[in-house]
Structure 1
Amino acid sequence: MSFLNLEHLEKSFGANHVVKDFSLAVEKGEFISLLGPSGCGKTTVLRMVAGFEQPDSGRIVIDDRDVTALRPNQRRIGMVFQAYALFPNLTVADNVAFGLRIAGMNRADRGRRVAEMLELIGLPSMGGRYPYQLSGGQQQRVALARAIAPRPQVLLLDEPLSALDAKIRVSLRTEIRNIQRELGITTIFVTHDQEEALSISDRVVVMNQGVADQIGTPHEIYNRPATRFAANFVGTLNVIDAEVVEPSQGRVRFAGAEGVLGRALPAGRVTLAARPEQIHLGQGAGIDFDARVTAVDFLGSVIRLRSEAAGVPFVLDTFNSSQRPPPAVGETVRLTVAPQDLLVVGE
């Protein structure tokens, strides 16, 4: 049995059915991200695990112990909030020591554990400061240290980086992941930011309207999305309405071109999808077609081309080259996509 098991959780607020038959098995030491838009139910799932909300039905089991009916302080869970939630009248050291003091740890042991935590988060000399004297990133580090100081079984992170600027977010998410790996804490991380989820997770749960649309590794979620929602929410996607010319061979027609996918397809029309990096400039060993460039976005190492072929919009990414300028807006270019890179996307 997995270390943390969420079994058929349901939660409604009045007539609003927020979480629907949600199940998830998490291994010990695993880092799981719940990813989805606002209102999809991800924070409600986190709050049920923490004990701040009671599920209408279903079970929460941690280390073979059913904790569904237990209070938050009985679950051995650490939680980090979006808004830091530090005590403004306490020093950094006292904030980190708060849970330890509540648990009855003696002063000497508390002091050693606080020093250990401040060293871990890279703030060993700031124990005497108050939260208002710290930057946002430093405050969130202190909130993390406070959460993990009592050695929780499970660490819950509720969009902890959303209040920080972009550069700090990138560095701090890496630090959080490194600390989590070092301590081996089973962790659930809630975010609406796909880059965050893909970059630091062992597995990602894509949530949509209270349902787990897809659960998989970042590689699986990005490259093999199971539903149209997952495909569109995670990364940029070219969605192509194609006609099936020969169902048994998977021959399709789109954008004035034909190609064989090499797998059987239903008769009629299908929705195909490809990531921007899977469409290439120039004629190649795949399905190729002409497109007119409608926009060129220079993103540094990557150039994003927007184009149109037979009324179908296509976005493609290509590496910047100092020796080869990108096509100009209005120019006609040849594009190629490999059949194996075209996904047939369901609803």
Structure 2
Amino acid sequence: MSFLTIEHLEKSFGPNRVVKDFNLTIEKGEFISLLGPSGCGKTTVLRMVAGFETPTSGAIHIDGKDVVRLRPNQRSIGMVFQAYALFPNLTVAQNVGFGLKVNGTARQEIQSRVEEMLSLIGLPDLGARYPFQLSGGQQQRVALARALAPRPQVLLLDEPLSALDAKIRVSLREEIRAIQQKLGITTIFVTHDQEEALSISDRIVVMHQGIADQVGTPFEIYNNPATRFVAGFVGTLNLMEAKVIDAEKGVTTIGGAPVILGRPLPKGKATLAARPETIRLGRAPGKDTVLAGKITGVNFLGSVIRLRADVGGQVIDFDTFNAPGVPPPTPGTEVELSLSARDLLVIPE
């Protein structure tokens, strides 16, 4: 039996349906990310699990217990907010121990647990400081320790890294994942950053207009998007309109060049997709399809150079590794691009 179950969850604000028939089962100790653009309903789902919003309809069960009618402090949930929400007049230690104090925990036990939590987040010597004396990353670590101190059954994180700079975000998300795995706590992480979701999640729920468009592992979400929205939102994807020559055998053309997929296609035309990393400059071994194009853009990204080409009026992005002493082709250069038909995705309409 799943540890956390969400069934037919709906939320409306007046006539606006923000969450529509949302269903999800989460195993104990699993790390789930709700991924999607602003306004897709992911934070509303999180707030309903936390008890800060009341569902219009639907059920939420934690460890077999229906919690929809329970107050937030009755759900055994720890929550980390985007804006830290630390008490400025309390020290770090007092902030971490706040939930324990409210629960009536003995003073000696609070002190022991606070020391344990500060050690866990790597700030064992900062208990006497106040939040304004900490960096943003340190404040977020304290917020995480405060959420974990009462030993909740579920940890909820609402875009906790969005206010931090890029380098700190990367290191802190790795720390959060390491702590989550060490404690084995069931976790829901809300983010609009696909890289975050792909790098630390056991599974990802891609949300769009209040609906869970796809649920799967990072590998499944990235390599086998179930809808056009998921395909376009997660990672960079080239969408190419192909003319279908033989629908049964999967024979098409892109920019006039034959592409044989070997699997059934809709008649007339199909939308095919390819990730930039699956396309090679020139005729590469093992690639069975060659497209002729012209370079229209060069974007230097350090170890990788992203090139853009016009292929029969369609824009295709592809990647090459930076090789010192071998400059990339310049805009206007006629090139050949090679790819494997097996790497092409057929995007449903």
Residues 105-145 of structure 1: per-residue CA shift (max 9 Å, x gap): 11111000000000000000000000000000000000000
SS in 2 for 1:34: strand
SS in 1 for 2:293: strand
TM-score (norm 1): 0.99
- Counterpart of 1:35 in structure 2 is 35
- Counterpart of 1:294 in structure 2 is 296
- Counterpart of 2:245 in structure 1 is 245
> Structure 2: how far apart are the matches of 1:74 and 1:208?
30
Residues 143-170 of structure 1: per-residue CA shift (max 9 Å, x gap): 0000000000000000000000111000
TM-score (norm 2): 0.98
Work out whether 1:199 is the aligned partner of 2:199. yes
> Structure 2: how far apart are the matches of 1:160 and 1:260?
46
> Structure 1: how far apart are the matches of 2:71 and 2:198?
32
Residues 24-79 of structure 1: per-residue CA shift (max 9 Å, x gap): 00000000000000000000000000000011111000001111110000000000
> Structure 2: how far apart are the matches of 1:286 and 1:273?
16
Work out whether 1:143 is the aligned partner of 2:143. yes
- Counterpart of 2:312 in structure 1 is 310
- Counterpart of 2:259 in structure 1 is 259
- Counterpart of 1:51 in structure 2 is 51
SS in 2 for 1:161: coil
Q: CA RMSD in A?
A: 0.7
> Structure 1: how far apart are the matches of 2:4 and 2:81?
20
Q: What does 1:73-88 correspond to in 2, within 5 Å?
A: 73-88=73-88
Deviation at 1:329, TM superposition (A): 1.3
- Counterpart of 1:326 in structure 2 is 328
For 2:227, the aligned partner's letter is T
For 1:36, the aligned partner's letter is G
> Structure 1: how far apart are the matches of 2:316 and 2:339?
11
- Counterpart of 1:130 in structure 2 is 130
> Structure 2: how far apart are the matches of 1:34 and 1:175?
19
Corresponding residue pairs, total: 347
- Counterpart of 2:268 in structure 1 is 268
Q: What does 1:107-122 correspond to in 2, within 5 Å?
A: 107-122=107-122
> Structure 1: how far apart are the matches of 2:299 and 2:267?
38
For 2:301, the aligned partner's letter is L
- Counterpart of 1:217 in structure 2 is 217
SS in 1 for 2:87: coil
SS in 1 for 2:232: helix
The answer to which of 283-292 and 113-122 deviates more is: 283-292
Query: Which residue of 318, 323, 347 corresponds with 1:345?
Result: 347
SS in 2 for 1:262: coil
Deviation at 1:297, TM superposition (A): 0.8
- Counterpart of 2:178 in structure 1 is 178
Deviation at 1:324, TM superposition (A): 2.4
For 2:80, the aligned partner's letter is V
> Structure 1: how far apart are the matches of 2:74 and 2:289?
59
Residues 223-259 of structure 1: per-residue CA shift (max 9 Å, x gap): 1000010000001110000011011110011112012
| Unaligned segments of structure 2, at least 5 residues | none
- Counterpart of 1:22 in structure 2 is 22
Deviation at 1:104, TM superposition (A): 1.1
| Unaligned segments of structure 1, at least 5 residues | none
For 1:307, the aligned partner's letter is A
> Structure 2: how far apart are the matches of 1:286 and 1:82?
48
Regions of 4+ moved over 6 Å? none
SS in 2 for 1:170: helix
